[in-house]
Structure 1
């Protein structure tokens, strides 16, 4: 602080991190009249734009285009094996990033009145942050530093080149055999994308594939991927890596299927994310944290009540849409002095494999663990006329309600599940009963009819009961 050349900047809010959450706070607060500084040491847009949501969905779209060529014969069109130009796939992915980047750019935020400082931030004390040669003193700070790929200690990893989500989108060469360690959403999405683009793919998971979701639905995803040629091993332990004389990578481990040795050309490690808390000197700011992230209360305040945290660094869910939701909570706290609190009872998520896997609210396992009396409704996509027309009948909707019809949660696996889950998010958020969905008029033929049909099934037993039949026969006498 004693350096002569240090500049001192006084602001209302200083946001550290220009990812989804940080940008939402900075844009909202500035447009509402607050004086805002935004500190970012790397690329504007953060993980979501540059190495996460956007490039992964662009790569998945390329894989979908390739797979549609293989599956064309189902529609009377001659199928063929696609010829994949990996340089052009790479260019496609980065052109999508480039198209979205202006929304997150330094220029746009400066036009909104935000002071953007491209430097690493480190706290000097509870009210001061150093960013380059600037000392920022703010009424409030927002930690929005995100997370990074977590690479566990694996025997033999040293000396072996490997991908994470942070560098795999820079690849522009064909991959012969990709070994993926980690069978969560990131691992499974990237595994399917590369499989469809021509690579052989093997996924090795320490526990259960897609373990955060209902096994009844994940089985449908896994069966589809297996039918496309993907190999899986669950219960992987005692992993050891070796590099063969020909440069290939060998992964040896014990699995639920016994001892395995898989040899591939490339390795992707997708074993989760770790909060970015190092280098911020949070001790000087009086902020309590751990490797899991910054500890926050229901208002997203840290142990220093002037410092908030949102997004991956705060958890408990590491989703872009959660960072945006949390941004609204802290804006109400900081700007309007309202004691707004987070509510995680209706948090949705989607895994963008094909078929997609979407969920909101309580699962059947959650409800049973909570000791709730429930009804479980199921409706298969094969009962939907649009799914039949699209030749995509593998799918299931599963809804959890109370015996009186209060909607507790819903899960969907199938084509466009990420879009179909939206009305269930509203239903759980607004604590609606199943009758609201059943009374909806659904246009025909749409996949969304599955939502109305499963809601209607709640009443099937009562509508076609002996009691109802007796009442109808009685009334028909008049």
Structure 2
């Protein structure tokens, strides 16, 4: 075992394991420092568990909506215990695939024990000191709990604990405005609970407002109460249930009767438990040329974004030049319909440039979406003067898959015109891209010279 590896990754959650294997594929010697406990908020495991729960809830919702598709309604029984057990089994099966024995066989040295910095170049794992060339911090973080009077007097669900809940809830009040809060609102409603969402600020502030409005309309249809603009100002523990006092815009107060409360307010990471002060980083910094926090430790709670950021950090630490292909990572809200956002919102993207165009297509005009009964959605694109996609927003039950295609097109510099001739079966959800491409071409004032140039390139196979 080398005590001077090229790279030491602190934290053996899914992200730490992924980055360790990635670094090994690049030829680096790697020590994975396992703190001998689960890393809180393991994004990949939570995403898989959530995906399992969402599919169970979707099946229940499909049965409720069956009469809309001409299928007679039938009675069904939903077992919260069996649903939770299935999600647990899926996660456990994935964990086995990254056991220490398998990691060792792939060249990763796994060391277990308490981890702490000795100085800026040395790390103590258990009772062994190692001196790696570079260090990645991939530890988890505990759920953040807001300071609300009375909240500490009751048992509160967090995003960690509610994923393992095996009881049917009566009335769940969710405090939060992020994607996780919104996802849980629909999930728990489909599992039979009454749900009230109190955002504590703008709902889904990183997503297109038009997309959010479509999701809110779907929530209203499912009976989910969203108190936009309201805040929880006090919580009163009762002998039966919980009193939730909320304050709406204008100062109007109201008390809700709840059975349970879920808080979704992000996570907090305690780097102090690693004795990071001994690394002698510059004041106010948690990173240096040799030390990089990633994932939750760097404020990246979404699994896809955390992995992309983590791999970029490994590349930088190992001195590996990134390829010219930069894949934009969609931000997702895993609801039905789902929302996928690629790139910053227009107000955050800076001043609009001359020639920028916004195109949109309603999924109501898509034959496949209409046949599935899921035609509430849209695709909205912002293009530059050359027809390259700069930003995108997708609202659809298959938003993740549609957004993946757009991300690939953006990374490969395939303009919207290039999507007009996609060879697609009919009907297909992906027809929305060819329709957008056709609309873009129809709106352009293409000169005869430009048409001739395109024809020549086509004949030459360029």
Whether contact under 8 Å (2:325, 2:412) holds in the other structure is no
State how far apart, in whole Å, the 1-side matches of 2:61 and 2:24 are: 45
Say if 2:372 is the partner of 1:390. yes
Distance 1:370 1:55, change over 3 A: same
Aligned equivalent of 2:245, options 236, 239, 252: 252
1:342 and 1:139, CA in 2 relative to 1: closer, same or farther beyond 3 A?
Answer: farther
What is the TM-score of this pair, normalised by structure 1?
0.86
**5+ unaligned residues in a row in structure 1: which ranges?**
1-6, 296-301, 472-478
What are the equivalent positions in structure 2 for 1:15-26 lying under 5 Å apart?
A: 15-26=9-20
- Partners in 2 of 1:326 and 1:430 — Cα distance? 20
Q: 1:410 aligned to 379, 389, 392, which one? A: 392
- SS of residue matched to 2:48: helix
**Structure 1 residue 186: Cα displacement:** 0.4
Deviations 1:120-141 (A, max 9, x none): 3111111111222222221211
Q: Which residue does 1:359 correspond to in 2?
A: 341
Count of aligned positions: 446
Give the distance between the partners of 2:75 and 2:267, measured in 1 at CA: 35
Cα distance in 2 for residues equivalent to 1:260 and 1:344: 49
Give me the whole-angstrom Cα distance separating, in 2, the residues matched to 1:9 and 1:403. Answer: 54
Matched, 1:47 2:28: no
Question: What residue number does 2:260 align with?
Answer: 266
1:423 Cα deviation after fit:
2.1
CA contact (8 A) 1:179 1:268 kept: yes
* In 2, Cα distance between equivalents of 1:112 and 1:45: 25
Alignment of 1:315-464 (within 5 A): 315=299, 317-335=300-318, 337-338=319-320, 340=322, 346-367=328-349, 369-373=350-354, 374-462=356-444
From the superposition, tell whether residues 289 and 245 of structure 1 become closer, same or farther in structure 2 (CA, over 3 Å): farther
Q: CA deviation at 1:36?
A: 1.7
Deviates more, 1:408-417 or 1:12-21: 12-21
Q: Counterpart in 1 of 2:457? A: none
Shift in Å, 1:8: 9.3
User: So what's the TM-score if we normalise by structure 2?
Assistant: 0.89
Query: By how many angstroms is 1:183 displaced?
Result: 2.4
Unaligned runs of 5+ in 2: 452-462
Residue in 2 aligned with 1:11?
Answer: 5
Alpha-carbon separation, structure 2, partners of 1:361 and 1:430? 15
Distance 1:403 1:334 in 2: 37
Equivalent runs, 1:170-249 vs 2, <5 Å: 170-237=164-231, 239-246=233-240, 248-249=241-242
Residue 474 (structure 1) aligns with: none
Deviation at 1:348, TM superposition (A): 1.4
Secondary structure in 2 aligned to 1:379?
strand
Partner of 1:147: 141
Q: 1:15 to 1:424 in 2, by over 3 A?
A: same
Change in 2 beyond 3 A, CA 1:127/1:63: same
- CA drift of 1:254 comes to 0.9
* Partner Cα separation in structure 2 for residue 256 and residue 20 of structure 1: 42
CA-based RMSD of the aligned residues comes to 2.7
Q: Deviation per CA, 1:12-35, whole angstroms, max 9, x where unpaired?
A: 221101234321221122344433
> Are 2:327 and 2:407, in contact at CA under 8 Å, matched by a contact in 1?
no
Q: Which 4+ residue blocks in structure 1 deviate beyond 4 angstroms?
A: 339-345
1:284 equivalent to 2:266? Answer: no
